[in-house]
Structure 1
Amino acid sequence: MSYNGANYTAAYWTQGNNPSTNNGPAGSGQPWIKGALCGGTTPTPTPTPTPTPTPTPTPTPTPTPTPTPTCSFQTWSAGVNYSLGTVVRFPANGNFYKVVNVGTNGSDGTDPTISTWYWQPTTCGGTTPTPTPTPTPDPGGTFAGLSKAQFEAWFPARSSFYQYADFVAAAAYYPSFAKSGNATLDKQEVAAFFANLQHESDSLKAVREYNTANWPLYCDVNWVRVTCRSTNVNDQYFGRGPIQISWTSNYRSLGNAMGLGEQLVNNPELLATNATIAWRSAIWYWMTQPGRAGRSAHDVMVGGLGFGQTINAINGNRECAGGSEYQGPAQMQTRVNYYTTFTQNLGVPTGPNLTC
C-alpha cells in the first residue's frame, strides 16, 4: 500500500497499525515493511515493435491526352474522289493526309498511305503524322555501288517522276535484289536492271506509253483480249512505269504481290502517279517474271547465265533469235550497249553471254 507518499508491504495480517510508525525491515517483527515496490519488481517492458511502413504506391502516370483535331477533315473512305486541298483522317492509323495533286476525278479514289503523288501527310490541330521509315542506304550512300550522282548521270533527261530516293525506297521491299553478298555480281545486276529500263522507258522519260492510240488495246480477262470498259485512263492497262507494265492480268498480279488486292486494277494510274509503286513494279517484274528465258532476270544474273538472258526474260520473243515475233538483233544490241556502259561506270566486268 501507499501511505503519505511511501510504499509499504504488510509482513503479516494486521489491523489498525499505522504503517509510518509500525514498520521495519523484513524479519523485524513489525507489521509493515517500508520501501517495497508497489506490485513487486517492475517487469521489463516489452518493446513496442516498430511498425513496418506501408510502401508508398508508385503513382500511375497520367497518359498524355490525344489532341482533339481542330481542323476541318473528313474520314477517308475507299473509292471516294476527294477534291484538291481536302484533309482526311485515315482510320487505320489515325493520321491525317491532304490532297495536294488531283487527277481526272480529284484524288481518283486513291489510298493516302500508298499514293504519295495525290496525298501528303499533314497535321490537324497539333496532331503529328507517323513518319514513313527511311530505308538504310549502303555505306557511302549508294545502292549496290550506284550513287545518286551516278544515277542522275545515267538519266540526265529523265522525267522528274523518277528519283533515286524513290528507287532505293522501292528496293527495300525486295531484300534479295542486288544483295547477293558478292559486290561484283550485285553491281552487274544493278547495271543490267537499269540497262533494260533505259530501253523500256526511253531513258526514264516515259511514265506512260507514248502511243496513246494503243492505250485501249491492253485489256484482257485471263490473258484473253477484251474490249476495255471505257476510254477513261483508269479503265485501260497500257504501259506505265519504268518497265512499262501493261495488260490487265499483269496489273492484277502486281497488285496482289504488293498486297494491294484489286487497287491497281481499279486504279492503274497509280503506276504513273506513285513513284514508289512505279519503281516497285519494275523490281517486281525483274525479280519474278520468267518470260521466254524460263527464269526471272534476277535469277539469270545471280545464276551467272549472263546479261543476254535478262533480255530473253523481258522481251525474248521479239528481240532474241528464234523468238516467235523476232524482229532482228537491233533492239537487243541497244540493251547490250547500255549494259556495257553501265558496268564500266560501276567498275565491274560485263560477264559472259551478253546476247541472246
Structure 2
Amino acid sequence: MGITRRQFNQAIEDCGFSAPSSEVYEYFNSQTSSFSLNELAMFLAQLIHESAGFRYKEEIAYAGRRNHGQYRDHCSLPGKDYHGRGYIQLTWAANYRDASRDLGMGDELLRNPERVANETKLAMRVSVWYWTERVRPQLGGRYDCFGKTTKAINGAIECSGGYNSVAAKRYQYYLKVADALGVQNKASERGCYN
C-alpha cells in the first residue's frame, strides 16, 4: 500500500512531534508495503508512542548503561544487555535472537544487540519483525480493536488493572494518525484494559 512522505510527516506532527529524517520514512515505507491502510495507521501510532516520534531508538532508562541486569533470560550472553531498542522497543535476549534469525542474520543481534539502536534501517526492520511476528498474530487478521496491539506490545504493564492513561494515549495517537492517513473505518480502543 504505502503512504506518501507528506502523510507520514503529517501523522507524526499531528501527534506533537517533528518529522524525522527522510531515511526513517524510506525504511518505514519500504518495510510496510504489504500493510493495509488501517494496519499502517496502527503500526505507525505504536512506533510514534514507543520512540517519542522517532526521537529514540533505545530505552531511555538504560541508554548508554552497561551490565544493568534487566531483561535477562535463558538466552542472555555474558556482558550483553537486552533492554528496549528499535522503534518498537525490542526487549529480552530471546526476542533479539528470534528477530536476528528471522531476518537472516544468524545470532548477530543476540551477540551485538546495540546494533538495533545504532542503525536506523535495522531499528525499523526489527520493529516490523516484532509487529508481524508478535503483534499481528494477536489480531487474528482483524484490525478493528487497537487495544489488542497495545496488549501485544506492553500488555503486562498497560493492560491490567483497569483504565491506563498511557494505553489511552497510544489510542489518541492512533486516531490522529488514522485521520492523517485518511482511514475511514477506525479501530475501536478495545482490547487492552477494556
TM-score by length of 2: 0.82
Aligned length: 184
Partner of 1:242: 87
Structure 1 position 314 matched with structure 2 position 153: yes
Identity %: 30
Q: Map 1:298-313; keep pairs closer than 5 Å.
A: 300=139, 302-313=141-152
Q: 2:11 aligns with which of 142, 154, 177?
A: 154
What secondary structure, in the 3-state scheme, does the structure 2 residue paired with 1:302 have?
coil
User: Shift of residue 352 of structure 1?
Assistant: 4.4
What secondary structure, in the 3-state scheme, does the structure 2 residue paired with 1:163 have?
helix
Q: Does structure 2 conserve the Cα–Cα contact (< 8 Å) formed by 1:301 and 1:307?
A: no
Cα distance per residue 1:104-130 (max 9 Å; x no partner): xxxxxxxxxxxxxxxxxxxxxxxxxxx
User: Shift of residue 148 of structure 1?
Assistant: 0.8
User: Shift of residue 263 of structure 1?
Assistant: 0.5
Cα distance per residue 1:121-140 (max 9 Å; x no partner): xxxxxxxxxxxxxxxxx6xx
Partner of 2:31: 170
Q: Does structure 2 conserve the Cα–Cα contact (< 8 Å) formed by 1:171 and 1:280?
A: no
Partner of 1:253: 98
Answer 1 or 2: which has greater strand percent. Answer: 1
Q: Does structure 2 conserve the Cα–Cα contact (< 8 Å) formed by 1:300 and 1:310?
A: yes
When the two chains are superposed, the root-mean-square deviation of aligned CA atoms in Å is: 2.6
Partner of 1:14: none
What secondary structure, in the 3-state scheme, does the structure 1 residue paired with 2:60 have?
coil
Q: 1:333 aligns with which of 162, 168, 187?
A: 168
- Residue 240 and residue 344 in structure 1: after superposition, are their counterparts in 2 closer, same or farther (change >3 A)? same
Bigger Rg, which one: 1
User: Shift of residue 166 of structure 1?
Assistant: 1.7
Partner of 1:187: 37
Cα distance per residue 1:194-248 (max 9 Å; x no partner): 11111111111111111138762123215xxx7x633xxxx21111110011111
- Residue 159 and residue 341 in structure 1: after superposition, are their counterparts in 2 closer, same or farther (change >3 A)? closer
Distance 2:60 2:23 in 1: 16
Q: Does structure 1 conserve the Cα–Cα contact (< 8 Å) formed by 2:117 and 2:123?
A: yes
**What are structure 1's unaligned runs of at least 5 residues?**
1-137, 179-185, 290-295
- Residue 273 and residue 170 in structure 1: after superposition, are their counterparts in 2 closer, same or farther (change >3 A)? farther
**What are structure 2's unaligned runs of at least 5 residues?**
none
User: Shift of residue 327 of structure 1?
Assistant: 7.4
- Residue 148 and residue 352 in structure 1: after superposition, are their counterparts in 2 closer, same or farther (change >3 A)? closer
Cα distance per residue 1:127-170 (max 9 Å; x no partner): xxxxxxxxxxx6xxxx1xx2112222333536649611122233
TM-score by length of 1: 0.47
Partner of 1:284: 129
Give the counterpart letter for 2:86 in structure 1: G
Q: 1:264 aligns with which of 109, 127, 130?
A: 109
Answer 1 or 2: which has greater helix percent. Answer: 2
Flag the structure with more relative contact order, 1 or 2, with Cα contacts below 8 A and sequence separation at least 6: 2
Q: Does structure 1 conserve the Cα–Cα contact (< 8 Å) formed by 2:97 and 2:110?
A: yes
- Residue 350 and residue 301 in structure 1: after superposition, are their counterparts in 2 closer, same or farther (change >3 A)? farther
Structure 1 position 229 matched with structure 2 position 78: yes
